[in-house]
Amino acid sequence: MSDGELNSHGKSMVLSSEPENGFTDALPSLDSDIAMNDFLLQQPSKGVDEHLIEFSEALRTVAKALRRVAEGKASAQAEAAEWKRKYELERARNLQRENKVAELPYEDDNRCEHEMIENVRNESVLQTRSNGQSEKCCGKHGICSHEVLRDGERDPGSKILHDKYVRKASFRLCWGCNGSGQHKHDIVSFERGNITTAERSSKQISLKWESPPQTVLILTKPNSTSVRHLCAEMVRWLKDQKKMNIFVEPRVRTELLTESSNFNFVQSWENEKEILLIHTKVDLVVTLGGDGTVLWAASMFKGPVPPLVPFSLGSLGFMTPFQSEHYRECLDSVLRGPISITLRHRLQCHVIRDEAKDELETEEPILVLNEVTIDRGISSYLTFLECYCDSSFVTSVQGDGLILSTTSGSTAYSLAAGGSMVHPQVPGILFTPICPHSLSFRPLILPEYVTLRVQVPFNSRGHAWASFDGKDRKKLSAGDALVISMAPWPVPTACQVDSTNDFLRSIHEGLHWNLRKTQSFDGPRETL
């Protein structure tokens, strides 16, 4: 090997090796700095720019999707926790009531009698369903209630004295025209004469009394002289001719006693607790007024509602088929039975506040017969709402507001906002926007078994306001939500003919639906 080769190899080894004093050679470092400066001075290629832009857009889309998923999951978890808390609270209350009832002596007074009967009623219904005895309680058609409702009687070992309890009239419901139809034990259950439904029937429903009604509640339109005179006349007739017990509102009772002291037999209530138990005493409800009186009657009952007979004395009558001039004939027919009824379902609305920290800050559910409306109120900003159906995102509402209506309320505010008229026995919830900020936003009809959640997002510019059947207005701030589902207690209203005939007559007479002059026959005709 030559000296040149040795020198060259030695130089390369020296350049690539680290001396003993710890300092590296400066030539490789200088070369790397020059290469880095040259790379930075070069203009980036167009392909690299486009690739980075597409990549950033993809990352932004993924981040937005993940954010929506996280928000939906958090909302679902919060809602599930809320309902679970309510269930545990109600269960604890029921257990506490049962323990109180068990501790009562045999000859106690009547103050807890209604609670005892409610517990006994639930136990009897569950036992009847589990043992399959409900199939034996019927005649040829329909559903009989005497297996559950035996005029207040219980087992021989029971401590409840049925003589102390005001017996409610029993009845049964039949599906199909003229009282014919199939059994519907899985749909309707009878609990002391109360109706509870899990779903609606697609056929005409008939109510037949199995024992005569004894107690009637009369609700009237306020500030009307004609209604006051009619109420007094009806009270006398029901007491003298039908020998019935009569309940009225405290205001009406005061008016009757002012007119004559002979009305001292009329009963009423004194506080809200007695109103909660009024359905256990009343067999029938009579309303004198318009649709507003029917809404007021429905709002009084937070649970089961007795059969309701509405008389028309107002300006509009979509739910009041009976004429007040013929109230004797109408009530005779209703008390004699059988009668056709319409099961008008109600919406159960629950406001969930974002700042609520414990159960004391939650609000009681509100039942509506027509609709719940969410609007922007006096704010100049558009309403911004996020709507969910069960676990699915529906849409974001930007506009004047949103209407969630029952099919009974389809001829009310929902119709004025562009919704369709729907037969009251069609199962569904109407989803109708109010002046939406999008021409493609059209109304929907959702199945009645879903749970809807309407939430005011945190980035909303203003607040929203919720009203329930036109009253009880509540403010919804950012983060608040309104949960809507179908209530298990319908409002059974009596029909003059049947539900379809009454519905068609109401839209013809109330709305003059499709009313036009007949085309002349003396014009040109088609020739063959």
Which sequence positions are flagged as catalytic?
A: 291
Give the whole-angstrom CA distance, residue 198 versus residue 182.
17
Closest CA to 371 of 334, 417, 331, 340: 417
Give the whole-angstrom CA distance, residue 440 versus residue 414.
17
Sequential DSSP letters for 247-316: EE-HHHHHHHHHH-GGGTT-B---SHHHHHTGGGT-SEEEEEESHHHHHHHHHH-SS----EEEEE-SS-
Give the whole-angstrom CA distance, residue 64 versus residue 53.
17
Output helix, strand, coil percentages for the chain, rounded to the nearest 5.
40, 25, 40
Evaluate whether 158 touches 120 at the Cβ level (below 8 Å). Answer: yes
Closest CA to 474 of 488, 459, 487, 464: 464
Exposed e or buried b for every residue in 250-269, given b needs 16+ CB within 10 A?
eebbebbeeeeeebeebebb
CB neighbour class for 430 (10 Å; exposed up to 12, middle 13-18, buried from 19): buried
Q: Angle at Cα 227 formed by Cα 207 and Cα 507, nearest 5°?
A: 55
CB neighbour class for 103 (10 Å; exposed up to 12, middle 13-18, buried from 19): exposed
Residues 6+ apart with CB under 8 A from 178: 206
Evaluate whether 339 touches 495 at the Cβ level (below 8 Å). Answer: yes
- Residue 195 dihedral angles phi and psi, to the nearest 5°: -105, 125
Place of tokens 């109706």: 195
Exposed e or buried b for every residue in 274-289, given b needs 16+ CB within 10 A?
eeeebbbbbbbbbbbb
Evaluate whether 323 touches 311 at the Cβ level (below 8 Å). Answer: yes
| Residue 272 amino acid letter | E
Give the whole-angstrom CA distance, residue 406 versus residue 431.
9
Largest CA distance in the chain: 142
Evaluate whether 92 touches 99 at the Cβ level (below 8 Å). Answer: no
Query: Residue 389's Cα: distance from chain center in Å?
Result: 13
Neighbours of 210 (CB within 10 A): 15
